Structure 1
């Protein structure tokens, strides 16, 4: 009978320990605050632009962009299929994705196919345009790490619009 009671005590202690361990990871400091992250991201982008003597335009969303070559025709709009070439990298220059030398990439604007920064950025561009998009993490991959992209990372894309349908 004593052995049975001591097993209950051990189980109770184990359960209590697991609960305490789980709760220790729930500190207030660990709560994601998108507004604070947006401020950090825009500061990082501004510093990067200043350090590299770049002048970028600012969209009301916080996306920064440099149109390096104007295209022709209307800008991409809601529901358009856009064909692009791109290279994505972090502010430190680490490349994380590209389709240069590969097949073209297609997406439909505002359908949720791509990160929000692309939906916003490509509506500023027309066929033949090339640009660099500086995308805060809140419009990019957010607070979730991806392969080659740490959580809360500003991402930069060099893009070229091949077609808009």
Structure 2
């Protein structure tokens, strides 16, 4: 009986120690945020970009054109066109007209940044990985895990 109890305890220990490796530690997330912030700041230095604002979320942005009228809210449905670039200035994708409910979009940087502009406005978002695709990468595989991205967005219109 003692053999079986010892075997059970050993197997349980192995299972629990394996599970710990799957859990994403807040420390790792915080560490990645620091790495991302440094990468974005280096991008600014290399490209002599100085006129940016940092949101408390860690998102950097530059309002290129404010647009006119009201701004969308978190419950708005929006139509944007956008391009996605990496910090090496390679373009990953371009979409001429994309419609979605702002509160339902997975890209947190869009939920934060798009309400800063009005219809016709353009904004550049410099996005740490945690506000884009995090440690999983994009579903289509075009953007690797823990990758910072740059979105150039024009707000074509919205409705509440």
TM range (shorter): 0.7 to 0.9
Larger radius of gyration: 1
Do the aligned partners of 1:76 and 1:126 also contact (CA within 8 Å) in 2? yes
Partner-residue secondary structure (3-state), 1:98: strand
**Alignment RMSD, CA only?**
2.4
Do residues 97 (structure 1) and 93 (structure 2) align? yes
Which residue of the partner structure matches residue 162 of structure 1? 156
Q: Give me the TM-score of the superposition, normalised by structure 1.
A: 0.76
Residue segments in structure 2 that go unaligned for 5+ positions in a row: 1-10
**Secondary structure of 1:117's match?**
helix
> d(CA) in 1 for partners of 2:114 and 2:77?
11
Structure 1 gaps, min length 5: 1-15
Matched, 1:127 2:122: no
- Count matched residues: 141
TM-score by length of 2: 0.79
Does the residue aligned with 2:69 lie in a helix, a strand or coil? strand
Note closer, same or farther for the CA distance 1:126–1:27 as it changes in structure 2 (3 Å cut). closer
